[in-house]
A and B are shown apart, each in its own frame.
Chain A
């Protein structure tokens, strides 16, 4: 019976027989404290930037930080109301990275400004202010998601719809003519007058819902029926269908949208959720072999017949020897590496470097731009904050009781980690460079909104995981009394789905 994989809401046991547990702690005050600490860090960063880049700290250096801080406090209040048991570390960690993104874009605005205007930089303009606006929109979106999705399991009802939407979103740029979809050779955008949307950023959430739903239903078949070979259990041939399908889709992305990163994202996402669902290492091996084989084939085809594969093989060549064509094809990567190297161990200090020498420093290369100024020490700290987000997300997945939630949260967390790996690995010549955004850091609305929606869902799941199972209707904490808010999710009590095994 695979139907039990999606646990039906069952009425609570009335709660009468439950002995009074220790009062569950929401940890919301910890979150607030961490958030204030983060805002403090951001303010210091902004002040140092102005001191270095302008020569003096102007009287309004704090305004943007205060605004973005206010947005985060709003997010905090939203969580307090709608997801009171959510993980307390995720929001401050995301806020730190997002805030640093805004502050660094502000720093770039200063660098691009004319010398005469630098001393009196406007607050309400430039990329930093646009990013601030997107942050506010994204936070509003995340809170709205928390309000609408009171129970993450309800998403599974729309799994097929969302899956189809995801595929459509992925494929739109591929089928659009290049002038409406290509930037720097990669067809990943929908260009509208005034702004561009990167639909792939939203597609990954939609696809993840579908993957999670599908795999929860199929996990027995995929994990039990197998042949043993070399000590590893391999699945039956006919069960390979879906994984091959996704593999083909990601290869199509690679070839037609000319983007290795996105392709790697989708495929990695699917393989990892598959692995989590089935607990079969063989899927990881099959996935890795398929992907590396596909990438190598694309490289080989690009070298020999060119055509649609040419872009990828050129990127690979640049990756292997960026300095061989340092002024042309290797220019971006070379300048990125030179920025990182110039920063060295400690960096030049915020505002004291020349990150504008790195091309696309506002988007793809923001990490190397920051690397020049905050050095290896600063970048390592940033990486640790990312790891923190991913690991707290995985912790939420472990805590939540239903299979769908586990798979979904695990996939969401891994998505963030993988995306950071793909872009940071790309700009530091660890892997071939691809045009991914750095989550929460890069300028750009699509990425920011999509990633905040992702965080909203993670918070929802972590809330479900940490919420006491006895259905306590309301929680009083720190003098703030928060209502159960319609109460639907709190009254649910799930049976641990692990019993299927």
Chain B
């Protein structure tokens, strides 16, 4: 019986060798995966061992803070301004996934980013407790506060909408608000059960408060799209100027089409002969529908829209690779019929920002900013500087020119036309006027299906002595009658607040 006993010994050795090999796989090969797995609660405790870095606006107002707790997770993430910054900052919960800027800057906020290597090294020698770095934003407190207040208390009692404001010369975001909002403190609480319940409640809320309407959704832009049509027309034919007289009228029928026509929003605003500038001022649909079909054509219209950024996600500079902020692209649609040929009625409808044209509020602000910045479109960004825990600067974002869709001449002509929208007494955007600043813009009223109320839009900018100060897009979802006027009024308040904060006016 000794031979089988020896063989059993070998069998046992083989079994243990299997255990050994498997442990090697688990503890060496898969070690890093397991160590950083989101189910690994050890990662959490380590993360909460030191205060997470703060997020602050351009003036240093703390928007996301770390509060000592005294329990095993030593620091609680708090958002002192609650709903106002929910969509911009995102949130950092214990068990759930973090979002937006909290997710994008997680490494730096926890202090483990490559950019902080030197900081960590000196900390090791000086014995300083490791801490996360701070993230400083381009956000203007005045613009953001005003945007949040004005949108929340709009006269039409619209519940949902969004505002994006940016610095046209840099692309830095000055305000980003989406309504309805939520309190991110509900999700960052250390009571993980409550956090999960709160998340589920928010996620199933019919008002969709978790959705960031400023950048994550696209809506029909309505007449604001006429800025693109004007740009395309004047670029295609340099003889066309704001003062060129073009045919208008109450109706427009595309050639060789019998059962389709474009109307104006009100009768009487659009005479048969009208200047391009006046057509934009009163938002004459027939002029721009005709322009789109007969002067520009689908291809050039689409390529101008793309030159302004349609069909591409306008990702933030610092979020270029991953798009953690979930920014979506705006679209023009194909403007063709089912057989693939250009469809004149589709082009006519698209030219007034309907049909399949969809735009995000961020894209709207970028269009206004491009016009204000003499045709140069800047890539948007929101993180201005990354600051080490010792307050030295670890990194800062350089503004980047994204593209130049129009020449400076065309941009100046568009500015002239958009000033008229605000400054003329018959202009649709006159409630955006601010004394001491040159304000330009374009309103939009967009149909949203048969049963729903129209969206209200305003995209615009303010210049001081020809220099761009701020551009803004205001979107009021299903606002109904008077939506675009109210949007213009709110846009004026935001731009005025920013100019006052800067002492420009």
Contacts and interface: CB of A to CB of B under 8 A. Distances in A.
A421 B18 CA distance: 9
B27 A425 contact: no
A341 B8 contact: no
B16 interface: yes
B504 interface: no
Interface string A299-338: 0000000000000000000000001001100000011011
B48 to A, nearest CB: 13
Contact of A275 (B8, B9, B15, B20): B8
B299 to A, nearest CB: 49
Interface string B336-371: 000000000000000000000000000000000000
A221 to B, nearest CB: 16
B12 interface: yes
Interface centre among B4, B13, B35 (most CB of A within 10 A): B4
A354 B41 CA distance: 9
Given A398-B2, A398-B6, A421-B19, A338 B37 contact: yes
A383 B27 contact: no
B33 interface: yes
A29 to B, nearest CB: 27
Interface string B22-51: 111011101111110101111001000000
A387 B3 CA distance: 19
B35 A342 contact: yes
A434 interface: no
A275 B23 contact: no
Please report whether the interface of chain A is mostly helix, strand, loop or mixed according to DSSP: helix
Interface string A260-292: 000000000000100111010000000000000
A232 to B, nearest CB: 15
Contacts of B23: 340, 371, 376, 379-380, 383, 424, 428
B52 to A, nearest CB: 20
A425 B17 CA distance: 11
Contacts of A337: 26, 30, 34
Nearest to A371: B27
Contacts of A403: 1
Given A341-B26, A344-B27, A429-B26, A410 B5 contact: yes
B39 A338 contact: yes
Contacts of B16: 383, 386-387, 417, 420-421
A390 B22 CA distance: 20
A430 B18 contact: yes
Given A340-B26, A344-B27, A428-B22, A394 B3 contact: no
A279 B3 contact: yes
A137 interface: no
Contacts of A327: 39
A391 B12 contact: yes
A166 interface: no
Nearest to A411: B8
A32 interface: no
B1 A407 contact: yes
A424 B2 CA distance: 28
Nearest to B39: A326
A394 to B, nearest CB: 5
Interface in A326-373: 326-327, 334-335, 337-338, 340-345, 353-354, 357, 371
A430 B37 CA distance: 20
Most chain B CB within a 10 A radius of its CB, from A341, A342, A353, A394: A341
Classify chain B's interface size.
20 to 34
Interface string A21-63: 0000000000000000000000000000000000000000000
B1 A277 contact: yes
Contact of A342 (B8, B22, B28, B42): B42
A385 to B, nearest CB: 11
Contacts of A424: 19, 23
A466 to B, nearest CB: 15
Contacts of B28: 344-345, 376
A211 interface: no
A209 B28 CA distance: 42
Given A340-B27, A398-B2, A414 B12 contact: yes
Contacts of B37: 338, 341
A397 interface: yes
Interface string B209-235: 000000000000000000000000000
Nearest to A501: B1
B179 to A, nearest CB: 33
A375 B41 CA distance: 18
Contacts of B11: 272
A405 to B, nearest CB: 10
A353 B35 CA distance: 12
Given A275-B8, A383-B16, A354 B34 contact: no
A337 B28 CA distance: 12
Contacts of B35: 338, 341-342, 344
Contacts of A421: 15-16, 18-19
Contacts of B22: 425, 428-430
Contact of B4 (A276, A341, A380): A276
Contacts of A414: 8, 12
B368 to A, nearest CB: 47
A406 interface: yes
Given A276-B5, A407-B1, A425-B18, A344 B31 contact: yes
A383 B5 contact: no
A338 B42 contact: yes
A93 to B, nearest CB: 14
Given A276-B1, A276-B4, A376-B27, A334 B39 contact: yes
Contacts of A276: 1, 4-5, 8
B20 to A, nearest CB: 6
Contacts of B4: 275-276, 279, 410
A380 B20 contact: yes
Contact of B5 (A386, A406, A417, A418): A406
Contacts of B32: 341
Contacts of B13: 387, 391
A391 B41 CA distance: 39
Contact of B30 (A341, A357, A391): A341
Interface string A401-413: 0010011001001
22 contacts: A337-B26, A338-B42, A340-B34, A342-B35, A343-B27, A344-B28, A345-B27, A353-B42, A376-B23, A379-B23, A380-B20, A391-B12, A397-B5, A398-B6, A407-B1, A410-B8, A421-B19, A424-B19, A424-B23, A425-B19, A428-B23, A430-B18
Given A343-B31, A344-B28, 5 more contacts: A335-B39, A337-B26, A380-B20, A410-B1, A414-B8
Interface of A: 272, 275-277, 279, 323, 326-327, 334-335, 337-338, 340-345, 353-354, 357, 371, 375-376, 379-380, 383, 386-387, 390-391, 394, 397-398, 403, 406-407, 410, 413-414, 417-418, 420-421, 424-425, 428-430, 498
Sort A-B residue pairs by CB-CB distance and give the 9 closest, nearest first. A341-B34, A417-B12, A376-B27, A344-B31, A338-B40, A430-B22, A421-B15, A276-B4, A394-B9
